[in-house]
Structure 1
């Protein structure tokens, strides 16, 4: 059985440290500007997004339970006034990926959002994350914008 359960305070501390490490790695791989420490950037951004931890207004954090075993996390921001939600993260431990659990978790999130009369469900996914992109497209998400990047060869800059 796959279940979303609101995160408890002690679970949040474990989650935050895990998220900090994973987000640092993502920034290291996907942020292409020179300068800045990815670890410091990750900590600053996450602390700004969740200044009061679990008590941060509009932010909902869940654990994903599969047969009562922790399988991952979900972080959603719900803005009732705008009738929109933003998925900051759905993260499943490696062993739980690729077998439909992510799809079921997303369906449960959508059900929760519909109960709250939310009209729009948004998210961001890095272009290199093909597995997540495939999942979101299968669930009906559409591209709303595209960030693009071109790496300029330093030799070209010398001319």
Structure 2
């Protein structure tokens, strides 16, 4: 069984460095940003959402642990009207395929219920079929679909 523990500063700094680069790359892959602008755009978005790092108001960043071993992280943002938004969930590569993602999603939903949230949303890039299937199995439904055609 996994546990969600508030991320400490060391964990946050390691997460931030990895995530900004990955987020920039995902937007380039999705065709949203050019390579030249991606890192700047990603950095700006993270700075806007997390101005005070892991202690930013309305943001809950957790390390996902199996016993004492860190297996990933999950970030829940608190929105108006008792809604939540999962900005990121990551299971570290050497721990993937063991059900940690599913367990973390169930734990963050339980945490959200304790806070009085009525729903939790998330974004997933269209090319991330593994994550899309997991979210569907957990009861998440597509509410908007954006499509693009390269010319």
Same fold (TM over 0.5): yes
2:143 matches 1:144: yes
Corresponding residue of 1:94? 93
**Contact 2:28/2:34 (<8 A) preserved:** no
SS for the counterpart of 2:5 is strand
Q: Distance in 2 between matches of 1:9 and 1:143?
A: 34
Match of 1:103 in 2: 102
- Taking structure 2 as the reference length, what is the TM-score of the superposition? 0.93
The Cα shift of 1:31 comes to 2.8
CA contact (8 A) 2:71 2:100 kept: no
Q: Structure 1 stretches (4+) deviating beyond 3 angstroms?
A: 32-36
| Residue in structure 2 matched with residue 23 of structure 1 by the alignment | 23
- For the pair shown, which has the larger CA radius of gyration, 1 or 2? 1
Trace 1:4-43 onto structure 2 (pairs within 5 A): 4-33=4-33, 36-43=36-43
**1:57-76 superposed matches below 5 A:** 57-76=57-76
Secondary structure, aligned partner of 1:149: coil
TM-aligned CA distance change 1:34 to 1:101, over 3 Å: closer
Matched, 1:55 2:32: no
Structure 1 residue 5: deviation in Å? 0.5
Q: How far apart are the structure 2 equivalents of 1:71 and 1:35?
A: 30
* Partner of residue 113, structure 2: 114
TM-score after normalising by structure 1: 0.88
Which structure 2 segments of 5+ residues have no match?
Answer: none
Q: CA deviation at 1:33?
A: 4.9
